[in-house]
Amino acid sequence: MAEEGASAPIFDSVALIGLGLIGSSIARGIRAYGAARRIIAFDSSQEVRARVSALGIADDVVEALAAAARADLVILCVPVGVCGEVARALGPHLSPGAVLSDVGSVKAAVIAQVAPHLPPGVQFIPAHPIAGTEYSGPDAGFATLFQNRWCILTPQPQVDAAAAAKLTAFWTRLGANVETMSAAHHDLVLAVTSHLPHLIAYNIVGTAADLEEVTQSEVIKFSASGFRDFTRIAASDPTMWRDIFLNNKEAVLEMLGRFDEDLTALRRMIRCGDGDGLFALFTRTRAIRRSIVAQGQDTAAPDFGRAAAKNDPPAGR
């Protein structure tokens, strides 16, 4: 974990556009680990702006998007579907040499939406911190959200190497492990590791909701740990996930096709009584789970450690 005050600030000023879970966690991380001297916050919601001011997690909470554009680093923490609209409004006000980034779970579509609106000299470096909870809003954030999580950067070839190195240092200061890859590769990887699991969770919980009427509350009453974990995933922000699926549909549909094929094979094993096949599959999938724990991306504690998570915000946030 990074030590508070260990090094000089990486950026003089950072502007956060959108103060939900990720934006407010970045603000708290900047303050906790000294990643910037000044934090500027903007959110389209007056209620959110007021709450950010009350929480004191930013130095300046501004009411106009243009007022947030003069920072050295500007990070779009908004749903991917509106990144282009925000970039169009920000573009004329960005300072030469500034770094513009984002936190979206889709990269190729964000690049296509944002890049046309940027003036020469602005370094656009898309990013995706792979961290989060099912909670949202400025109260949900916490400074350690990115500790030992991955943040993927997808800079285009023309981006200045020094600017990319500076953004890498910023995320490292917040505790993240940083890796660089192409936008297309990122979108394919995330389609299988994040987007498809969310799609499956939404579908299973939706099916259970239909069955709930038939079983007269038994689905919820007797929910086992597996279903409870699906409901945790399916409780994620609906606007964000709607935009993710619409903006990464090619990769998601490709992974969904692969999933359909594997599901057909699994159905065949069950129908044919192929115990050896089922055992081999479950052994292989258990090994993947153990690898995730071994790399520090989750804990082996009972119930995946979530029941005793110290950083979980109170219910309702």
Is the Cβ–Cβ distance between 127 and 102 less than 8 Å?
yes
Locate 302 and state its tokens.
Answer: 């009972």
The residue type found at 249 is K
User: Could you give the CA distance from residue 126 to residue 106 in angstroms, rounded to a whole number?
Assistant: 9
Looking at mean pLDDT, say which of 167-171, 202-206, 233-237, 310-314 comes out highest. 167-171
**Is the CATH number 3.40.50.10320 carried by domain 11-181?**
no
Do 185-273 and 11-181 have the same topology in CATH? no
User: Could you give the CA distance from residue 36 to residue 29 in angstroms, rounded to a whole number?
Assistant: 10
Query: Would you state the pLDDT for residue 303?
Result: 52
Tell how far CA 176 is from the center of its chain: 13
**Which pLDDT tens digit goes with each residue over 276-295?**
999 999 998 888 777 777 77
**Which pLDDT tens digit goes with each residue over 85-140?**
999 999 999 999 999 999 999 999 999 999 999 999 999 999 999 998 878 899 99
- Please report how the helices 249-272 and 183-190 are oriented relative to each other, as an axis angle in degrees rounded to 10: 30
Span 70-79, average pLDDT: 96
Q: What pTM was estimated for this model as a whole?
A: 0.82
Report domain extents, the chain: 11-181, 185-273
Please report how many Cα atoms fall inside a 13 Å half-sphere around the Cα of residue 203, on the Cβ side: 7
Q: How far is CA 175 from CA 10, 57, 146, 258, 314, in A?
A: 14, 18, 6, 34, 24
**Is the CATH number 3.30.70.120 carried by domain 185-273?**
no
